[in-house]
A and B are shown apart, each in its own frame.
Chain A
Amino acid sequence: MDILGSFALLLAFLAAVYAFGAGIVGAVTRRPLVTKSARNAGMAVFVLVTLTVGILEYFFLTNNFSVSYVVTHSNSALPWYYKIAALWAGQEGSLLFWSWLLSIYAFLVLFLNRKKHPELMPYTGVTLAGVQIFFLTLNNFVASPFSVIATSGTGGTQTLAMLSEGKGLNALLQYPEMVIHPPMLYLGYTGFTVPFAFAMAALLGRYPGEKWIHITRRWTMVAWCFQSVGILLGAHWAYAVLGWGGYWAWDPVENASLLPWITGTAFLHSVMMQEKRGMMKVWNVWLVFVTFMLCILGTSLTRSGIVSSVHAFAQSSIGNWFGGFLALILLVCLAAWWKNRDYLRSDNRLDSMVSRESSFLFNNLILLAACFAVLWGTLFPVLSEWFTGSKISVGPPFFNKVNVPIALFLLFLTGVGPLLAWRKTSFDALKRNFAWPLLGGVLAGVAAFIGGFRDVYSLICWVLSVFVTLTIASEFLRGALVIASRDGSNLVTAIGELTMRNTRRYGGYVVHFGMVLIFIGIAGIPFNRDVEKEMHPGDTLQIGKYLLLCQNFDHVENNNYGADRATIEVFKDGKSEMMLYPERRLFKTSQVTETKVAIQSSPLRDLYVVYAGQSPETGAPVIHAYLNPLVKWIWFGGIVVVLGTLLALLPNRRAAIVLKPVAETSWGGAVADGLPAAVQSVVRRVGSSE
Chain B
Amino acid sequence: MKAGNKFAIGSIIIVVTLLALAYVGFTQSKTYYHTITELTTLRGSALHERMRVSGNVRAGSIEHMPGRIDFVLTEQGKDLTVSYVGRDPLPDTFKDGSQALVEGKMMPDNRFVAEQVQAKCASKYEAVPDAAPVTNAPQAQPSAPGGQTSTGATTQPSGN
Contact = CB atoms under 8 A, between A and B. Distances in A.
Contacts of B142: 141-144, 147
B107 interface: no
Contacts of A390: 32-34
Given A146-B143, A394-B30, A592-B93, A313 B21 contact: no
A147 B143 contact: yes
Given A308-B101, A390-B32, A592 B92 contact: yes
B29 A595 contact: no
A9 B88 CA distance: 47
Interface string B90-111: 1011000000010000000000
9 A-B pairs with the lowest CB-CB distances in the bound complex, closest first: A401-B25, A314-B126, A398-B25, A391-B33, A395-B29, A593-B92, A6-B146, A397-B29, A616-B64
Given A312-B125, A373-B22, A402-B25, A10 B30 contact: no
Contact of A365 (B4, B11, B140, B147): B11
Interface in A360-406: 361-362, 365-366, 369, 373, 376, 381, 390-402, 405-406
B37 to A, nearest CB: 13
A591 B144 CA distance: 33
Given A395-B31, A591-B158, A401 B21 contact: yes
A474 interface: no
Contacts of B54: 308
A673 interface: no
Interface string B1-36: 001101100110011011001101110111111100
Interface string A636-653: 000000000000000000
B112 to A, nearest CB: 17
B7 A396 contact: no
Nearest to B52: A393
A594 interface: yes
A148 B148 contact: yes
A509 to B, nearest CB: 25
Contact of A406 (B18, B130, B149): B18
Contacts of B121: 312, 592
Contact of B151 (A2, A150, A381): A150
Interface in B50-103: 52, 54, 64, 66, 69, 87-90, 92-93, 101
A390 B158 CA distance: 33
A559 interface: no
B29 A394 contact: yes
B64 to A, nearest CB: 4
A350 B11 CA distance: 14
Nearest to A244: B88
A539 B129 CA distance: 45
A161 B150 CA distance: 10
A396 B31 CA distance: 11
A158 B145 contact: no
Interface string B33-47: 110000000000000
Nearest to B118: A310
Contacts, number: 206
Nearest to A612: B89
A390 B93 CA distance: 28
Chain A interface size, as a band, is: 35 or more
15 contacts: A7-B145, A90-B126, A141-B144, A142-B142, A147-B142, A151-B154, A312-B120, A312-B124, A313-B124, A314-B128, A314-B129, A362-B10, A396-B29, A398-B28, A612-B88
A3 interface: yes
B103 to A, nearest CB: 9
A311 interface: yes
Contact of A147 (B3, B22, B149): B149
Contacts of B160: 590-592
Contacts of B145: 6-7, 9-10, 13, 140-141, 144
Contacts of A399: 25
A6 B146 CA distance: 5
A143 B6 CA distance: 53
Contact of A401 (B14, B22, B123, B143): B22
A162 to B, nearest CB: 10
A421 B121 CA distance: 56
A152 B150 contact: yes
B153 interface: yes
Nearest to B22: A402
A313 B127 CA distance: 10
Contacts of B124: 170, 172, 311-313
Interface in A330-384: 349-353, 355, 358, 361-362, 365-366, 369, 373, 376, 381
